[in-house]
Amino acid sequence: MESDIRLTPTSYIVLGLVEAAGEATPYELKKVVAAGLANFWTIHHAQLYTEPKRLAEAGFLNERRETGGRRRKRYTVTEAGREALQEWLSTPTKTLTVGRIPSFLKLALGSDPKALAENQLPAQRRKLAEYEALQAQLSPEMQGNVRIVVELGVEMQQELVRCWKHVAERA
Amino acid sequence: MESDIRLTPTSYIVLGLVEAAGEATPYELKKVVAAGLANFWTIHHAQLYTEPKRLAEAGFLNERRETGGRRRKRYTVTEAGREALQEWLSTPTKTLTVGRIPSFLKLALGSDPKALAENQLPAQRRKLAEYEALQAQLSPEMQGNVRIVVELGVEMQQELVRCWKHVAERA
DNA sequence: ACCGTCATGTAATCGGTTACATGATTCT
DNA sequence: AGAATCATGTAACCGATTACATGACGGT
């Protein structure tokens, strides 16, 4: 019950997903992540095993081991976990910038704008198409914020395409 | 001369900045970073000491120690370093998505959209104003890509503001 | 019964972050 | 001279990434 661990975004992802599922195994989390979150936040399957363990040791999750079959671990959030999550959810974020955009970094470090844009633009367009496809096949009665987040993701991708178009046009 | 280290974005930042400066000490790099790059890529001063050392050991930088005064280390890029940098600069990036956006993550994990937007929007607007101020005071004959990158940064920030406006309006 | 894939983890590594510590300059 | 700040690094920690390894299940 070392309750004083540092909670990272990964922690809140686990807390949030377990909370939403009611109860979950790491593998189930993995599938949920792959189904959407993975599109705008990298998270590796190993973390979905180590992080719940960490959170359980700190008292934010309950860990229960199955007795039969695969004897896998099932997690539920504790009261403390729910509180920590709610507190985080209701606090505005400190970092207000878009994260790291590798292609912009290349530009900043001296890439030839024209050449880079010519490579980047089509790739960026393909990615946008992917996102829009994802958005299209979202079941209409999909509840909650998922729809909104996907929409925002599409908007950001459109903006990226626009950015590279500008660079390309700048001759 | 262990030439087989992994080169991370941080590596290329160091290579690129040293290349641009011709020769530099970690502290000089720190100042250059603070002057611009820091706005869209986090990098800690400790890395500006450890990373050049790593790169020097791998043969991508030359390390020369001052004899007098502070006896600090001055770095220049080697031919190998220049090649590695150029190769990276001319390769299109694999990651085509905007990086991690913490506020979007909160939304995805169940934040109340309305409430979050009301907090996020003004903060996001302030950040945008900062960027625009930075852009305005960019000396007009500032060479190369710096101007472009700052411009793209502003565009992305504007997009973020638009995103949160949409969320807010969605009632 | 066997094989391939799905499922479930652990271990090792490594870069990024936080903390600490000390040596030069500059200012009063 | 002493204080404050600037400059220069090292050390410890820790989370994220990569690799490895094994067990269960479904199909043939």
pLDDT in tens, chain B (171 residues): 556 889 999 999 999 999 999 999 999 999 999 988 988 899 999 999 999 999 999 999 999 887 666 678 999 999 999 999 999 999 988 888 888 899 999 999 999 999 999 999 999 999 999 889 988 887 776 667 888 998 999 999 999 999 999 999 986
Q: What is the pLDDT of residue B114?
A: 93
Interface test mutation site (partner B, options A37, A85, A109, max chain B beta carbons within 10 A): A109
Closest-approach residue (CA) in chain A for B10: A105
Q: What is the pLDDT of residue A1?
A: 58
Closest-approach residue (CA) in chain A for B151: A163
A44 CB neighbours strand C below 7 A:
no
A70 CB neighbours strand D below 7 A:
yes
Interface test mutation site (partner A, options B39, B94, B145, B155, max chain A beta carbons within 10 A): B145
For the CA of A53 and the C1' of C8, the distance in angstroms is 13
Contacts of B33 (CB under 8 A, 6+ apart): B13, B17, B43, B48
- Burial class of B75 by CB neighbour count within 10 A (0 to 12, 13 to 18, 19+): buried
Q: What is the pLDDT of residue A154?
A: 94
Which chain A residues contact residue B9 at CB under 8 A?
A: 100, 102, 105
Q: What is the pLDDT of residue B138?
A: 78
For the CA of A142 and the C1' of C13, the distance in angstroms is 41
**Are A145 and B40 inside 8 Å of each other by CB?**
no
**Are A96 and B123 inside 8 Å of each other by CB?**
yes
Q: How far apart are the first and last CA of chain B?
A: 60
For the CA of A75 and the C1' of D24, the distance in angstroms is 20
Q: What is the pLDDT of residue A171?
A: 65
Render pLDDT for A60-94 as a digit per residue (tens, 0 to 9).
999 998 776 667 899 999 999 999 999 999 998 88
**Are A108 and B166 inside 8 Å of each other by CB?**
no
Partner-chain residue, chosen from B110, B162, B163, that has the shortest CB–CB distance to A16:
B110
Average pLDDT over residues A4-25: 95
Q: Which amino acid is at B98?
A: V
Partner-chain residue, chosen from A98, A107, A116, that has the shortest CB–CB distance to B98:
A98
Q: What is the pLDDT of residue B36?
A: 84
